Amino acid sequence: MVWCTHCGKDQPTERDDINGFICCTGCGRVHEDNIFSSDPTFVKSAGGQSQLSGNFIRDGQYCSYGRLDGDLNHDYGFRTDSHLKTLEKGKEEIEIIAESLCISGREAMVNAGHRLYIIAVERNFTRGRRTKQVAAACLYIVCRKKSHFCSSIFQMSYNYVLGAVFLQLCKLLRLEQHPIIQKPVDPSLFIHRFTDRLLGRTTSTKQYHAISNTALRILSSMKRDWMQTGRKPSGVCGAALYISALSHGFGCTKADVVSIVHICEATLTKRLIEFEKTESGSLTTEEFVAKAKELEAEMQSMKVPTRNSEIKGIKGITELLCEHKGTDAKHFAHGLCSHCYNEFVKVSGGIHGGSAPPAFQRAEEERRKESLQIKQDKGFFDNDEDSISCHKEDQENLEGNVKMTREKVKLTNEEMVEDGGACSQNGDNATGSRYKNTASTDVGTDNRNQDGQNGVTESCISEAAIGCPAETDDWSQLQFPESYKVGDDMGEELETLSDIDDEEVDRYLHNEEEVRLKTIIWTEMNKEYLEEQATKEEAIAAAEAAHAAALAAAAEGAPDAVELAAAAAAAVARLKKDKQRKRAEEAKNKVPPQSAAEATRQMLEKKKLSSKVNYDVLERLFEDNKKNVTQTSDGGKDIHNQSPAENVKRTRSVLWADEDSADFKNSKRQALQGEATEGNAVDFKEEGAEFKEERTDPNMEDGLEGDDFDVEGPDGLDNEHFQPYKLQYGHEVEYEYDYEDY
């Protein structure tokens, strides 16, 4: 029945396919005359050629050629209806996406999505946005609404543009208030999918289940500890999965997890740190699972909390305030019905459970540090201002302050304890959390563990490395300067005032790579020193070995050897005494220097710098002076002047000879000559060898290299001066020491 304008009423119509029109049966007025036929008809055109009448029209489009409902004036021509086309295209896109995601129950979803798409098109939402995105958003809404598992699959291609489009669409469709959209996505939905991807096909289903279950439990613990609020679910998910995988022995790296979950490694690290700060972070896997099971069991048999009245402000609420307000649901607790209350407990751990959210923890720490700083400054200020007499009072004041803060801490502590919450957050920050990987020394961890056992509970905002009773022992051993000997209180004061972070200390240490590099550099730079050390050690070792050998030889029982050893020892002792005596005599009998040169030489000798002195230059230095002196003085003085120079040289260069007294030389000679057995000759031979070498080598320039002196270069000694001495040696003649009386 179509409204006919001519008749003025609805009239049945007749369709004439041959001619292609629809007309009114009452008056015969033609409503539409664009009929489609599939039989081609040909007409003759002006030029005599036959032409196909009509147009080709694609399936799914209509042509408003001619009149539409009697409107002759508008001639649309062969125009495709873009509106319909758009809608169709959208549906296609939705279909494609649904197919690629392998969603079950596709038809219904696609249709539902398409309906949303139509609305979007009508509201001009598709303008300026890619069709694909809009299609995806529509499909996503449908999935979310259905709470279908596949909504998590959608997250796979999570990108920000899509998210934005989705949010806008929600706004458009007035879906913001819809609880489905409002509720944050539960990360536990993702666990299975991520686990699957992480583990691959190689692991057994048993392990898969174990890992995913632990991950779920970790997640719920995180939820209770407020780690999940305001965070992207994927981050929290990733962290839980990582921990769970590692704890089951599946060695996945952070990189693996990051690639699956699509978060940054920094984010993952952050979440891990936050988790480790929570109470659960310090449990082992078994403990954790046990605890989780406990909690689950508890949740099953949920009791109405009886502490309702104790908590201020919620006294005696009987009115239902949750989302089920107005319905028949009964009030269960805290203004919530049982369903909502259970959910509340599940998500947040209830009123008693869970730790403070990480952001709050951080803020608390900052606040605490600041207050400490202020207190410290105040303490200094007090000290500076008052005089000495007030000093002691200040001490007491400070202690008072400390005590006060402790009281406060205790108060807050008690509150927490009263609630029965699991608030043993003592130094869990730095306590050996099993999930933590840093290597702390045994001392450190022992201290902190003790701390935990002693139950020095502070507020649930954990403080790192504070309040170690073990350390008070150390401090009580301290011997403070007198004005600070205030006994144990000082120790306490120290504990609360000082706050040495493990982190901070770690900052002062190199990592492995740096250590390696530094070792290389340092060894290079200190090569000489190290070589010197090495040679010194060798020498010592050799001497010790020789000594040991000598002793062994002596112990073997040859009487000669024993005598010789004794004689040698005695000789050495005598030598030393002689040396000392001689020195004393010299000091006493020293002739006051007659000239500047002499004075200088004496000074040099005394200071034992002579080896570094160029004597030639020294002599020449005073030559002018000497000339003057010699002119006016006796010859004897010259000699006197001369001989010290030579003598000095001699002393420096052949110091070992210095030590020889005639006796010693004799004894040694005897030893060398009268040697029969090998064993006995061990050490003497060595020394003798040294002797011989030094003596018979006439080519030595610098003098004899022994332990007692180092002569650097030929500067200190001239060959000429040296020769006569050496020659004497060469002949092994007993020579007289000229400078005995020197």
**Residues at the interface with another protein (CB under 8 A):** 376, 379-380, 383-385, 387-388, 391, 440-441, 443-444, 474-475, 477-484, 494, 497-498, 500, 504-510, 514-515, 518-519, 522, 525-526, 528-529
Residue number, 398 or 423, with CB nearest to another protein: 398
Residue number, 161 or 515, with CB nearest to another protein: 515
Give the span between the Cα atoms of 312 and 305, in whole angstroms. Answer: 14
Residue 448 CB, nearest distance to another protein (Å)? Answer: 13
Residue number, 99 or 501, with CB nearest to another protein: 501
Residue 480 CB, nearest distance to another protein (Å)? Answer: 7
Residue number, 443 or 603, with CB nearest to another protein: 443
Residue type, 737: Y
- The sign of the torsion formed by the CA atoms of 323, 304, 302, 420 equals positive
Q: Report whether 120 contacts 148 (CB < 8 A).
A: no
Residue number, 366 or 415, with CB nearest to another protein: 366
Residue number, 385 or 634, with CB nearest to another protein: 385
Residue 459 CB, nearest distance to another protein (Å)? Answer: 22
Phi, then psi, of 248 in degrees rounded to 5: -100, 10
Closest CA to 99 of 84, 110, 112, 87: 110
- The sign of the torsion formed by the CA atoms of 283, 286, 287, 293 equals positive
Q: Report whether 292 contacts 240 (CB < 8 A).
A: no
Residue number, 71 or 710, with CB nearest to another protein: 710
The residues, ordered by sequence, that sit 6+ positions from 226 with a Cβ below 8 Å of its Cβ are 348, 354, 355, 356, 357, 358, 360
Largest pairwise CA distance in the chain: 170
Residue 737 CB, nearest distance to another protein (Å)? Answer: 38
Residue number, 449 or 643, with CB nearest to another protein: 449
Residue number, 70 or 400, with CB nearest to another protein: 400
Residue 451 CB, nearest distance to another protein (Å)? Answer: 15
Residue 488 CB, nearest distance to another protein (Å)? Answer: 15
What angle, rounded to 10 degrees, do the helices at 358-385 and 488-497 form?
130
Give the span between the Cα atoms of 226 and 223, in whole angstroms. Answer: 5
Residue number, 444 or 452, with CB nearest to another protein: 444
Residue 491 CB, nearest distance to another protein (Å)? Answer: 11
Residue 507 CB, nearest distance to another protein (Å)? Answer: 8
Residue 463 CB, nearest distance to another protein (Å)? Answer: 15
Give the span between the Cα atoms of 404 and 9, in whole angstroms. Answer: 95
The 3-state secondary structure of 448-496 reads HHHHHHHCCCCCCCCCCCCCCHHHHHHHHHCCCCHHHCCCHHHHHHHHH
Residue 510 CB, nearest distance to another protein (Å)? Answer: 5
Q: Report whether 459 contacts 444 (CB < 8 A).
A: no
Distance of CA 306 to CAs 302, 329, 415, Å? 12, 20, 17
Residue number, 115 or 391, with CB nearest to another protein: 391
Would you give the distance in Å from CA 17 to the centre of its chain?
83
- The sign of the torsion formed by the CA atoms of 314, 316, 319, 324 equals positive
The 3-state secondary structure of 260-280 reads HHCCCHHHHHHHHHHHHHCHH
Residue 716 CB, nearest distance to another protein (Å)? Answer: 24
Would you give the distance in Å from CA 342 to the centre of its chain?
39
